[in-house]
Amino acid sequence: MAKVAVVEGDGIGREVVPVARDILAAVRPDLEFFDVEVGYGRWERTGSACTEETIADLGSADAILFGAVTTPPDPGYRSVLVQIRHALDLYANVRPIRGDGVDVVIVRENTEGLYSGIEWTQADRACTVRVVSRRGSERIARYACTLAKSRCHLTVGNKANVLKSDCLFVEACTAEAARAGVPCTLCYIDALCLDLLMHPDRYDVVVTTNMFGDILSDAAAYLVGGLGMLPSANIGKRAALFEPVHGSAPDIAGKNVANPVAAIRSAAMLLSHLGDPASAAAVEDAVHRVLRAGIRTRDLGGAAGTREFGAAVLREVGRGKA
């Protein structure tokens, strides 16, 4: 029996994750769920957003379903997601961008770059170290090449014309692509942001560094209806965490208006990771049928609430099993 840690987190995470969990339970009643609390709400209540014990609990799971966490602009508050990614070595962030006429996978290095966590503040400046290591670059390139082998082509997003650290990243990626026999193209990240939006059909798998991948995938959400539609996976050698790309959106939290599609699709990715692609496909198909039926949340021009949309997907999942 697979164990799934469930982290609702903050804001709309508390609304979209229960929807995704219910759908997981419907398609896989054998899964064992257990709740883990992390985030800003816990920090406000206890003074700690995430502890070593919490990390150990997450690491004991076969997979983690994660909602969203608020990171306040407080120099004393450390990003919970950065802590978890580093502690569990979730080095590969995989963000599929799929919709009408769009099928791109953005693979983002997940533990280095500007999110390395090496920061300090002085009287007249604040510093963040951008770390790009050969080991980190090679392993994310290998992961991306594994995906690109079945999808034809790899694009390496970079800014090597300005950043010397990106010269190392490009060197590592092109070497791994050559070893894997994967056709590879280099593209400066600023030009890539525009071209991906204008010509998504030109791209299969894109690999890039941490912050560039974060920005690129968020921008690419425009192609498929917004951040409420994008799932993601954070993959390590032993642990795996699945989360919607969107944030905690405190301005709409508790109003039953958040789009749960990204969380539901993240649950589908979790199922694939557990070796159940059939159930993952059933969840994706159910989402597509609900959207085709015109049931949409407000961000997509509809009137359905979070719970109502989730209930519609649950019904479709049930019909698919019947």
Residues with active-site annotation: 115, 159, 190, 214, 218
Asked if residue 206 lies in contact with residue 237, where contact means CB atoms within 8 angstroms, the answer is no
Q: Helices 277-292 & 306-321, crossing angle to 10 degrees? A: 120
DSSP for residue 73: S
Nearest alpha-carbon partner for 13 in 70, 94, 90, 85: 70
Kindly state the DSSP code that residue 297 receives in the 8-state scheme.
B
**Alpha-carbon distance 81 to 84, whole Å?**
5
d(CA 169, CA 186): 11
Q: Say if CB 35 and CB 322 are below 8 A apart.
A: no
Answer for the pair 245, 216: CB distance below 8 angstroms, yes or no. Answer: no
Integer Cα distance of 92 and 176 in angstroms: 15
- C-alpha to C-alpha distance for 192 and 195, rounded to whole angstroms: 5
For residue 239, count CB atoms less than 10 angstroms from its CB and return exposed for 0-12, middle for 13-18, buried for 19 or more.
buried
